[in-house]
Amino acid sequence: MGPAGDTVPIAELLDERRHLLEVAHRMLGSAVAAERVIDEAYREWYGLTDRQRSRIGSPRAWLSQIVGAICLERLTPPDPYGTAQRCVGERGQCDTGPEGGVGAVLPPKPETLSPAERAAFVLSDALGTAVGTVEGSPGQPEPECAEPANRARHSLRTRRAQPASPSRQDGIAHAVRQACADEDAGRLASLLTPDVTAFFDGGGKVRTVTRPVTGSEGVARSLLTLLARHPRTTLRTHPVNGSTGLVARYDDQVAAVVALDVAGSRVVEVWVVLNPDKLRSWNRPRP
């Protein structure tokens, strides 16, 4: 069974990314630069091993620290004499001198701070703690051998004996949506084949499952966690890739697009797009 327990609700994913963008924007003063920093921070998250990620008690706090460290690196000018604060080894393990932390050495008036000092102040305020106190630090990623998604997709397609008609596809998609809305794991699992596989495409830009989830129970749990009911989320059926799928919105923003491949009377494959870049076309204002 795949790592269903790693799934994160959409509301948490979007709130986390918005928080990180706000921290980076406040530190750098540029929305474009902030986006680049966030991408780099998530690359570091995915560079960790599964074991390292599991030891991080608060991924949001860890990512905030990484964002702050990246921003500080970009704001701090070269120091040929080695007298300025320096981060050695891994991000988040900073040598700040005998004062004991970035926040402890900041002057009281923001207008007197250098850009790097102001950035450190923003980071400390966002984390509610001094830099370097969040548990868990990135290490060198271990090599992982995973079958490419397109190979898995081809394998599943070759095993299909009865492709679903458009009306059957539409009916199954509506049943899946209703089971998700009712948070009925048993009913949702019954709509999936025993060997169903779900793929989650976050593009390395949001925190999501890193490998395919397999099995009806695991996929059902993953979908119910991702699509958990929230006052600001909605789930509707919608045409996706020429057939009926699901679209989840957070406020007015499309946060996930779910394609369902149906054979016979059940879903054999699920594709969940969470990558913000791929969802931009869904979020463009309509003329």
3-state secondary structure the chain: CCCHHHCCCHHHHHHHHHHHHHHHHHHHCCHHHHHHHHHHHHHHHHHCCHHHHHCCCCHHHHHHHHHHHHHHHHHCCCCCCCCCCEECCCCCCEECCCCCCCHHHCCCCHHHCCHHHHHHHHHHHHHCCCCCCCCCCCCCCCCCCCCCHHHHHHHHHHCCCCECCHHHHHHHHHHHHHHHHCCCHHHHHHCEEEEEEEEEECCCCCCCCCCCEECHHHHHHHHHHHCCCCCCEEEEEEEECCEEEEEEEECCEEEEEEEEEEECCEEEEEEEECCHHHHHHHCCCCC
Q: What is the pLDDT, as a whole number, of residue 286?
A: 58
**Residues contacting 210, CB < 8 A, separation 6+:** 3, 6, 46, 50
Which of 92-101, 118-127, 157-166, 267-276 is predicted most confidently? 267-276
Instruction: Determine the Cα–Cα distance for residues 188 and 260; give it in Å rounded to an integer.
Output: 13
Q: What is the pLDDT, as a whole number, of residue 194?
A: 95
Q: pLDDT category, 79, cuts 50, 70, 90?
A: low
Q: Compute the average pLDDT of residues 44-68.
A: 92
**Residues contacting 139, CB < 8 A, separation 6+:** 48, 49, 52, 90
**Residues contacting 213, CB < 8 A, separation 6+:** 1, 2, 3, 4, 7, 197, 198, 200, 219, 222
More confident residue, 20 or 135: 20
Q: Residue 139: CA atoms inside 13 Å, Cβ hemisphere, count?
A: 11
pTM of this structure: 0.69
pLDDT over 50 (residue 188): yes
Q: pLDDT category, 5, cuts 50, 70, 90?
A: low
Residues 229-250 pLDDT 10s? 889 899 999 999 889 999 999 9
Give percent above pLDDT 90 in the chain: 50
Q: What is the pLDDT, as a whole number, of residue 162?
A: 66
- 266: buried, middle or exposed (CB in 10 Å: 19+, 13-18, 0-12)? middle
102-204-225-180 Cα dihedral, nearest 10 degrees: 140
Q: pLDDT category, 217, cuts 50, 70, 90?
A: very high
Residues 92-138 pLDDT 10s? 444 333 333 333 333 334 444 445 545 554 555 554 444 444 444 44
